[in-house]
Amino acid sequence: MQLRALAMKIELITLGDTNKPEVNKIIELLKAEKEKAVQNGDEVKANNCWRELQTFELSVLFIQAFQNIKSKNYRDAWNELEQCEIIYSFISNNSSEEYLCNPRLAFITDKIAKWQSLYPYCLFCSPGFKVGYYSCSICDHKIRPRSRCAHKKGKVYNGELCLHVAHDLEMLEISMVTKPVQKYSVMHDDSTLDFTLLDRLSSFLEHAFEEWDLNWTTMKFPVERFKSVKNKDKCPCKSEKLFEVCCMEKEEVEIPHLDFMLSKPLSADSESITFPYENG
Amino acid sequence: MSIMDVKEIFSIEESDLSFKKLVDEAPLEIASTLKDKSVVILPSHGHDDAYYAGTLDTLDFLNENGIDTDVYASDEEYKELGLHGAEIWLGTFIIQSIVVPIFCSVVSAYIYDKLKAKDDDDIALRFMVENKKGKTTAVEFRGKVENLDKALDAIKSFSDED
């Protein structure tokens, strides 16, 4: 596809790149091509245009999320990472293995979950509701157990994604959960949380597509270094027990440890270990 | 274990529900279609008219994979529940013992391949197997996907008892 070749030539790495006129030009061209393909009944081409547009949008959102992490707008970045996850799932559901091997897509999907794992969020609200019925977003067909249309939820038809639209919703309850369907429903006040992991990693990275990886292990420290932990606090080893009944009497406390692996050499002082407790 | 973690539930008990009883008590418009089904999906979560979100996807997957399945609701009555969190609420199924082996392999494929469940994901389901003598045994499981095999092994063992 010529447009794909053109799209791939554009360097889309920084937030500045996303505002370049040629990026907008490509997006407008893809939209026009898709429209033309729809009118000509060329479903394959229309779907290809949809895929390229989604991949563009995914790249832009991922860059925005990275910039927001760097600017300490953690919540905005969290929401954008969730959007990236959703867009990727739609692309993945409508693409060949070969398309998904595109290094940029592979990079983004690998890094979304890793960035998310560095967030301290652990409590979310989630609505429980009853849905009267769903309809198809493409043909408006009322979806019933014994009555379906020709469109499958999550698949693309003539450049348009099929979704099921919920009707006659009856709200039942709001619950607190640790694994939400909607990740944006964070219940925390960000000002009370520790975002050190995001800060530390993003401080080493110049742009969203610089290679990095992480490795969770554990590390032992002398118990004297945990003076700021009170007897009734949760144990730093994350056993969920109180410090006084868990590791307080031990000589060393084994706590979770995270190594960041980067693709470039760092200065000697950058490789120091950050100890997460005060006066330690 | 945090207070937010769900404690695993795994229970096996006898039930007085049977395919015949279901068909006898079903609304007229669905009674005849339910009669010959291998699997029927029942309302869940304490509701008598609502099914978990995604039930129609499960229904399609089972039918597309050779298991003649239906839901215990007319097209007009059918409603879905959207529930808390990313836990996989699969639903309640009554299963003819003859299809239990294929049902287990199709449900596994649905959970792992279609829903792309990971070992650490939470899942909740209830399988009821009616054997040739009309005796029904219910297996309830709520816990990590990695431990789901014990529920599947349990229902396979009832079908072996025939």
Query: Is the CB of B84 inside 8 Å of chain A's CB atoms?
Result: yes
Residue A113 and residue A128 in one domain = no
CA distances A192 to A120, A187, A188, A200, A235, Å, are 10, 12, 8, 18, 19
Give me the domain span that covers residue A73: 2-117
pLDDT tens for A58-80 read 999 999 999 999 999 999 999 99
Residue A135 and residue A58 in one domain = no
pLDDT tens for B98-127 read 999 999 999 999 999 988 898 988 899 999
Question: Domain for residue B2, yes or no?
Answer: no
What pLDDT sits at residue A242?
94
Question: Domain for residue B15, yes or no?
Answer: yes
What pLDDT sits at residue A280?
61
Question: Domain for residue B3, yes or no?
Answer: no
What pLDDT sits at residue B84?
62
Q: Which chain B residues contact residue A132 at CB under 8 A? A: 79
User: Which one of B1, B34, B58, B83 makes the best mutation probe of the A interface by having the most chain A beta carbons within 10 Å?
Assistant: B83
Cβ–Cβ gap B82/A179 under 8 Å:
no
Percent residues over pLDDT 90 in chain B: 49
pLDDT tens for B69-83 read 999 999 999 999 886
How many inter-chain contacts (A to B, CB under 8 Å) are there? Answer: 72
DSSP state of B7: P
Query: Is the CB of B3 inside 8 Å of chain A's CB atoms?
Result: no
Q: Which residues of chain A have pLDDT under 70?
A: 1-10, 279-280
Question: In the listed set A99, A117, A135, which residue is the last one of a domain according to the structure?
Answer: A117
Q: Which chain B residues contact residue A147 at CB under 8 A? A: 75
Mean of all residue pLDDT scores within chain B: 87
Residue A40 and residue A95 in one domain = yes
What part of B 88-117 touches A (C-beta under 8 Å)? none
What's the pTM value of the predicted model, to 2 decimals? Answer: 0.87
Instruction: Quote the number of domains for chain A.
Output: 3
Question: Domain for residue A231, yes or no?
Answer: yes
User: Which one of B3, B34, B80 makes the best mutation probe of the A interface by having the most chain A beta carbons within 10 Å?
Assistant: B80
Question: Domain for residue A193, yes or no?
Answer: no
Q: To the nearest whole angstrom, how far is the Cα of A270 from the nearest Cα of chain B?
A: 34
Cβ–Cβ gap B50/A130 under 8 Å:
yes
ipTM: 0.83
Question: Domain for residue B141, yes or no?
Answer: yes
Question: Domain for residue B1, yes or no?
Answer: no
Which is nearest to B18 in space by CA: B4, B35, B5? B35
Instruction: Quote the number of domains for chain B.
Output: 1
Residue A163 and residue A222 in one domain = no
Cβ–Cβ gap A134/B80 under 8 Å:
yes
What pLDDT sits at residue A58?
95
Q: Which chain B residues contact residue A146 at CB under 8 A? A: 75
Q: To the nearest whole angstrom, how far is the Cα of A167 from the nearest Cα of chain B?
A: 10
Cβ–Cβ gap A131/B82 under 8 Å:
yes
pLDDT tens for A98-145 read 999 989 999 999 999 999 999 999 999 988 889 999 999 999 999 999
Query: Is the CB of B5 inside 8 Å of chain A's CB atoms?
Result: yes
Asked if A52 and A27 touch (Cβ cutoff 8 Å), the reply is no
Question: Domain for residue A278, yes or no?
Answer: no
DSSP H helix total and E strand total for chain A: 8, 7
pLDDT mean over B73-100:
87
Q: Which chain A residues contact residue B53 at CB under 8 A? A: 131
Residue A14 and residue A109 in one domain = yes
Give me the domain span that covers residue B126: 9-160
User: Which one of A93, A117, A131 makes the best mutation probe of the B interface by having the most chain B beta carbons within 10 Å?
Assistant: A131
Locate the chain B residue with the closest alpha carbon to A145.
B75
What pLDDT sits at residue A1?
52
